[in-house]
Amino acid sequence: MAFGSFDSKGPGTTMSEINMVPLIDVMLVLLVIFIITAPLLSHSIRINVPQVTAQPVEQKPVVIDLAIDPSGALFWNEQPIAAEELSARFASEAAADPQPEVRIRADVETRYGLLAEIMGAARKAGMKRLGFVTTPGQAVHDDAAADGAAPAAAANTAAGG
């Protein structure tokens, strides 16, 4: 809104300042309303809920450790297993309740295609929980091979050995 001023500048000039008093009044009224209504909003109703004395179910998670060495040999919980038996083992474990978690430990030199086949067989059998186990350490970079170090030495360093 523009209001006229009482200056001697003439009747056509407008006042370019905002009148803050009405805005402050509205803000204070809202503040008082919120101060009065806030305690009323926190009113609670007492309800008698049933008490339970059940013990928590202690169920240890079942974990299957599937290791793959650089040559492609498979180890099911540290026991050697043939690749042909893997699908049958996955199917029998998928029927268990609760379903175990499969943790895959693969060597750095393991082919990706073999890992993809194993994960596909697990999914096809109905396994829902798959994971990878890694060893923290230095990452294998192409810089190590460029410095004259053998790739196997770089892989051993990354595996913590």
Indicate whether 139 belongs to any domain.
yes
Give 27's pLDDT tier (boundaries 50, 70, 90).
Answer: very high
**Coil, strand, or helix at residue 66?**
strand
Indicate whether 11 belongs to any domain.
no
Distance CA 77, CA 101 (A): 12
Question: Which of residues 53 and 29 earns the better pLDDT score?
Answer: 29
**Coil, strand, or helix at residue 101?**
strand
Q: Which domain holds residue 154?
A: 63-158
Indicate whether 83 belongs to any domain.
yes
Indicate whether 50 belongs to any domain.
no
Distance CA 153, CA 144 (A): 9
Could you tell me the two tokens for 36? 């009065």
Mean pLDDT of the chain: 79
Indicate whether 33 belongs to any domain.
no
Indicate whether 131 belongs to any domain.
yes
Cβ(104)–Cβ(130) below 8 Å: yes
What pLDDT does 11 receive? 62
What's the whole-model pTM score?
A: 0.50
What pLDDT does 81 receive? 93
| Count of domains forming the chain | 1
Instruction: Say yes or no to pLDDT of 160 above 50.
Output: no
What pLDDT does 23 receive? 92
Mean pLDDT of 87-113: 90
Compute and round to an integer the Cα radius of gyration of the chain.
Answer: 36
Domain CATH for 138: 3.30.420.270
Q: For 109-155, how does the pLDDT look when each residue is reduced to its tens digit (9 = 90+)?
A: 888 899 999 999 999 999 999 998 888 775 655 544 444 444 444 44
Indicate whether 107 belongs to any domain.
yes
Q: For 42-72, how does the pLDDT look when each residue is reduced to its tens digit (9 = 90+)?
A: 777 788 877 888 887 777 888 999 999 988 8
Indicate whether 106 belongs to any domain.
yes
